[in-house]
Structure 1
């Protein structure tokens, strides 16, 4: 696993009102950290699992949950080979705008 120098990143505070599981929050935070100016990143599940300290199956479940709730969109990526064929590569994850998130089930804390 590669370690990054001290970098700061921001995450929308509204994410805490959506009752995400610990794995979903960790995976979403890592995707935000890795995303570029287009709010997208491309990586494999193994890399996400290593960075978040959980299993690959936990990452897959978290990604599925985040996709269902409108936090991310996942596109499969393919690479064209010299032989003329194609091969599947890492998925590309797009972070969706807060307006596309499904409404939360209930607030965790009251606002003033």
Structure 2
């Protein structure tokens, strides 16, 4: 019986970090913030509500730095943030913390691959134009 209790508590102390995350070429700060959000998330809803300050305290970053990395994670398609609000005891409505929704890693991988393919197509197009310009300079009409 003791072993069963130990296994359950051990499972609660760990969270999965997908291997694909390393193919996304995230900055170390974004990886740290994403890891903390995974640590905080409700595994049924994939959401969490930590403040910038609590994230920064956990990963040793300032609030502004956390904000920058949250924006990077959003831009990469790894999370979605939504503002929340609270009502104080005296009835005033105030801004709450952000609600973070952790998106499936495959979405971010697909977005990353699409962007890489688009960059490759643009580079190929630029190279074709450069070759045509060079050919026109050598053999003007």
TM range (shorter): 0.7 to 0.9
Instruction: Within 5 Å, give how 1:33-52 maps onto structure 2.
Output: 33-36=39-42, 37-52=44-59
Name 1:95's counterpart in structure 2: 102
CA distance in 2, matches of 1:33, 1:83: 33
SS in 1 for 2:112: coil
Comparing both structures, which one devotes a greater share of its residues to helix? 2
Name 2:30's counterpart in structure 1: 24
4+ long deviations beyond 6 Å: none
Asked if the contact 2:40–2:50 (Cα under 8 Å) also holds between the matched residues in 1, the reply is no
Normalising by structure 2, we get a TM-score of 0.66
Name 1:110's counterpart in structure 2: none
Q: CA deviation at 1:32?
A: 0.4
CA distance in 2, matches of 1:44, 1:33: 14
Instruction: Within 5 Å, give how 1:1-112 maps onto structure 2.
Output: 7-36=13-42, 37-81=44-88, 84-101=91-108, 102-104=111-113
Comparing both structures, which one devotes a greater share of its residues to strand? 1
Bigger RCO (CA 8 Å, 6+ sep):
1
Normalising by structure 1, we get a TM-score of 0.81
Greater C-alpha radius of gyration: 2
Name 1:109's counterpart in structure 2: none
Unaligned runs of 5+ in 1: 107-112
Q: CA deviation at 1:100?
A: 2.2
